[in-house]
Amino acid sequence: MSKEGQTSNRAFMHRSIPYRNCFEEDGMIEVETGVYTRGYRVLPPEGEVKGNYNSKVTRMYMEKILVKLSEWFSFEFTIRNCHMDKGEYLSKVTIEEREDAYTHLRRLYNRVLQENCDIGHNNFTREVYLTVSMEADTPDAALKCFEDADEWMRALFLEMYGFRLVPMELSERLELLYCIYHPEPEAAPFGSRVDYDGRGFSIKSMQRMKMDTKDVISPERYECKERDYMRVGKFYVRSFFINSIPESVPDSMLLDLSSVSSNSILSVHYQSVDQELGFQVAAKLVRENTEVKNIPIRDTVADRKEHRMRRQERSILDSEDEYFYRSALGRFKQAKAKNQPSIQASFIIVLYAESLEELNRDSSLLYLSASKYVCQIRCLDLQQNEGFQSVLPLNNLKVSVGRMFSVEEMAVMQPFSIQDIFEKVRTFYGLNAINDNFVFMDRSNYPTAMIAGISNTGKTSAVKREAANTLMCTRDDVVILAKCPGEYRAFTEAMNGQIIGEFYPDIFDKDSNYNLNNDKSILQKVFMEAYLTARVGFHRQRVLPEVLQAQYEQAEREAGILCHFASWNEALMYAKDHPVEMQLFVKSMEQQCFAADCLSGNRRLTVMGFTREDELLMNLDYLWNYAVQSKKKNRTVWIYVDGADDLVYSTTASDYLVSILERAEILKIPVTLVIQDAVHIVTNQKAVIEFDYLLNKIRYFKLLSLGPVERKKFVERLNISQQLVPYIVEREPGEGVLITPSANIAVNDHFESRENEFYQVFY
């Protein structure tokens, strides 16, 4: 290149790197005249974080951060994904292969991860940065403000589960910019261009070589010749913005969108807004751009006689600004009604790819990922350079793509991987059906779960997969209550477990902490009501409503007496002396042959069969008592109920099941319910009421292929976006949707052929 060409390119790069001055001592960068910025790394907590993820609490923390920051600064959160060496990544996600009964299964599991790591964008690290900016007359005035805010900012983030806010020195901020402009793995180390004295980057070395900071970070190639992409170094780069976001989205939306590529950046710019002034301006501009007409109504003769008119409003200009002001006006109205502050936010996304074909593929994945949240992604056509400048961690927005939100809405869209800090044992659940990334999860964070699907969609296989994950990765025990225990025979043998057929525990033999406190009669009464109802079966008989209600009241009275007995013999003696008072219990009595403790051996997996509702209740109650005893010994028992449908048809059984789920959430004992025939439940007038109540207690759902009737119920009840609905319609076994309080994921856990040894275990 000629000297003139080099000078021209240097001038272009200087214009394209959007800042004016750097201040070495303070870590500040002046991005525009009188506008100063400071950068921070947002690091996860040090050490183990106790407790479980709670979306409401997390949003409360985030809302507090946004409100406080917006009072002082305009600011930007930047999520940057960087490619990680495949070997290093696999070392983090594979299971340690210790020698025990599950050694071979662990090897097969690890092999699946190794063989399929390259399908999606898996091997990447995620970094989060905060950039705050303010206007000041002098750099010293800006520095004073930043220093005054430093202490409360750190305390604010520390309050949120212990996240750390670490100020960045100028060299660190420049190095970050250098890495963004040099995405190639083989790129020279930062500062190598100005290593004058052999000690790495320094301002003195740079000055001696008559260079400035932009010379240090600028790439060899930076071209903006195309409408919808540009070239940065050897990479193709495309910039997008999020055009619209619905009111309700999961906490993980931003992280999910940023995960479509292992080399991407997502930045969110926040700017506080004078709510009253903003409302007035938006209303005025919308009003000026609205044409109002009165259209005659001629639907009926009366309409014509009375000359009725219909008001019709139409936008005069259909533009980006018009969309912004109309959506902003709606947000302002909502924020004022809720008495909440408003924030203008701009979402910029940049994808890197080594080829144009790869860039187009990742762009399609981004559009698809956004559609499942009913978000609209748009490419920054003819503004690729401005989009790239805007995504940099400089909080220097160059494109007008802001949207209005209440602080409450913005607090939902978290830029941090908060869920990850609670995950101690993350196991593989399949591939994300949209972007092909691995799906990992720590199920212990979601103690209450439900698996549902039509016949032959893999419900039993899903139970086996989750049970195998637990046995491989923890030292916990697994007990499966199955209506068809024969389906688990091969799996049980492979897992070195045991199958127990008929089992009749003593329903009065309970631990003192069975209710999670010393008053075991509270839960025992709820169980006894359900047990008597199931044994006598009056809820399944066709009787008048008043007769049915009388039977329920009788069950409640008898349960109130029975819950105080310590043994079967005590209850039997009382019933013989009071046969009228204990009529349901007398009807339910038969010769009892109580079994010994079936879980006292060394088998970590047990499958227990049942045929009737009362057997299921007895076994579940026995398991809950056993799980409480085990928890006191610092051991967790995972309970799976494959065929929990019967417990939804009576009020008493449903109340008992809900009581167990509530206690499971408190004690962190995972309980998973498998619904075999959801369509029969949702079409039963009484059962669907109990089912609705039950769904409130579930935190994790695995929905496989569903029929149209029950699918509608789940979609409405769980607020599943229409973009995810196709993933629960006529799918292959193992395909469906995972739903948690923080994420909705279309998943494929049957992406291997039947010859795969790992998946053969679950057929």
What are 1-39's pLDDT values in tens digits?
444 444 446 677 778 899 999 998 789 999 999 999 999
Tell me the three-class secondary structure of 21-50, residue by residue: EEECCCCEEEEECCEEEEEEEEECCCCCCC
b/e burial code for range 656-667 (CB count within 10 A of at least 16 → b): bbbbbbebbbee
Decide if pLDDT at 392 tops 60: yes
Decide if pLDDT at 388 tops 70: yes
CA angle 96, 101, 104 (to 5 degrees): 60
Tell me which residue of 425, 281, 293, 273 sits closest to 341, measured CA to CA.
Answer: 273
Question: pLDDT-based confidence at 726, cuts 50/70/90?
Answer: very high
b/e burial code for range 96-131 (CB count within 10 A of at least 16 → b): eeeeeebeebbebbbebbeebbeebbbbbebbbbbb
**Residue 722 or 127, more confident:** 127
Strand, coil or helix: 357: helix
End-to-end C-alpha distance for the chain, whole angstroms: 64
Question: pLDDT-based confidence at 645, cuts 50/70/90?
Answer: very high
Question: pLDDT-based confidence at 279, cuts 50/70/90?
Answer: very low
Q: For 429-437, what is the mean pLDDT?
A: 90
Dist. CA 711–CA 716, nearest whole Å: 9
Strand, coil or helix: 699: coil
Q: What are phi and psi of 236, to 5 degrees?
A: -90, 135
687 with 648: CB under 8 angstroms? Answer: yes
Dist. CA 735–CA 465, nearest whole Å: 13
Residue with tokens 């900071």: 213
pLDDT of residue 259: 87
Q: Domain 92-121+428-505+605-763 belongs to what topology?
A: Rossmann fold (3.40.50)
Dist. CA 488–CA 505, nearest whole Å: 22
Beta strand pairing call for 124-135 and 164-167: unpaired
pLDDT of residue 309: 65
pLDDT of residue 617: 95
Dihedral angle over CA of 417, 423, 425, 429, nearest 10: -60
Q: For 106-112, what is the mean pLDDT?
A: 93
Residue type, 637: V
**Residue 679 or 321, more confident:** 679
Q: For 641-648, what is the mean pLDDT?
A: 95
Q: For 194-208, what is the mean pLDDT?
A: 79
Q: What is the DSSP string of 524-548?
A: HHHHHHHHHHHHH-GGGS---HHHH
Question: pLDDT-based confidence at 136, cuts 50/70/90?
Answer: very high
Range with lowest mean pLDDT among 590-594, 618-622, 681-685, 744-748: 590-594
Number of helices and strands (H, E) in the chain? 28, 26
Residue type, 162: G
Question: pLDDT-based confidence at 744, cuts 50/70/90?
Answer: confident
Dist. CA 480–CA 465, nearest whole Å: 12
By residue count, the chain amounts to 763
Mean pLDDT for the chain overall? 87
CA distances 227 to 16, 224, 231, 359, 664, Å, are: 17, 8, 12, 14, 56
Q: pTM here?
A: 0.82
Q: For 422-448, what is the mean pLDDT?
A: 90
Decide if pLDDT at 287 tops 80: no
pLDDT of residue 505: 85
pLDDT of residue 50: 79
133 with 36: CB under 8 angstroms? Answer: yes
**Residue 300 or 191, more confident:** 191
Every domain of the chain with CATH number 3.40.50.300 lies at: 92-121+428-505+605-763
**Residue 309 or 131, more confident:** 131
**Residue 231 or 207, more confident:** 231
Range with lowest mean pLDDT among 45-54, 62-71, 265-274: 45-54
